Amino acid sequence: MDVKFYHCLTCGNIICKVVDSGVVPVCCGSEMILMEAKSVDNGLEKHLPHIEWLDDMTLRVKIGSEPHPCTKEHFIQMIALQTVDGIDIRILDPQKCLDERTRKEELAHLAQAHKEDKKCGLDLACRIEKLFSSKDGELSEVPVAWPEQIFHCNKKDAIGVYAYCNLHGLWHKSLR
């Protein structure tokens, strides 16, 4: 069965059906909108889940072929794995994504510095990387991150991965 995510255009509620009786859920006095998942990444920002099996029971999901904006106005809000047993939904927090990214960068930097056998001075430029984009001729800074989640499931039971961007909607990568 396809997973059905619904969206309320009034309050922003997002729900996922556990049992599908066929009735459309109602929120704020109106029927909720069934979100159609996109599976082709042709916009400026990239949203398709990228899959890497670390072993037969461990799946790493990374969103986008390049880092995605990571602000409370625009971020990857959810990553979910569908298996034959159900759905494992992870709710993401933009600040935590940035913190995790910074921590990974620090570790990579320390590892590199260690390799080169010299002291590592972690300054701000090294810790926080920003994406510079041009909007209306003006340079703006948008923090970006590469949201990722580790899931544990039997490889043969995995069905698909969903990602939800609060601006660009629902995305789906089939694992079958």
Residues that bind Fe ion (CB under 5 A): 45, 165, 167-168
- Residue 116 and residue 43 in contact, taking contact as beta carbons nearer than 8 Å: no
With CA atoms as reference, report the closest residue to 79 among 69, 88, 68, 67.
88
d(CA 6, CA 21): 14
Closest distance of CB 156 from Fe ion, Å: 32
Closest distance of CB 43 from Fe ion, Å: 8
Closest distance of CB 149 from Fe ion, Å: 17
Closest distance of CB 46 from Fe ion, Å: 8
- Residue 157 and residue 83 in contact, taking contact as beta carbons nearer than 8 Å: yes
Distances (CA, A) of 115 to 110, 118, 124, 126, 129: 8, 8, 21, 17, 22
Choose between 6 and 171: whose C-beta lies nearer to Fe ion.
171
Choose between 72 and 115: whose C-beta lies nearer to Fe ion.
72
Choose between 45 and 88: whose C-beta lies nearer to Fe ion.
45
The residue number whose beta carbon is nearest to Fe ion equals: 165
Choose between 161 and 165: whose C-beta lies nearer to Fe ion.
165
Given strand 5-7, what is the order of strands in its sheet?
Answer: 14-16, 5-7, 33-34
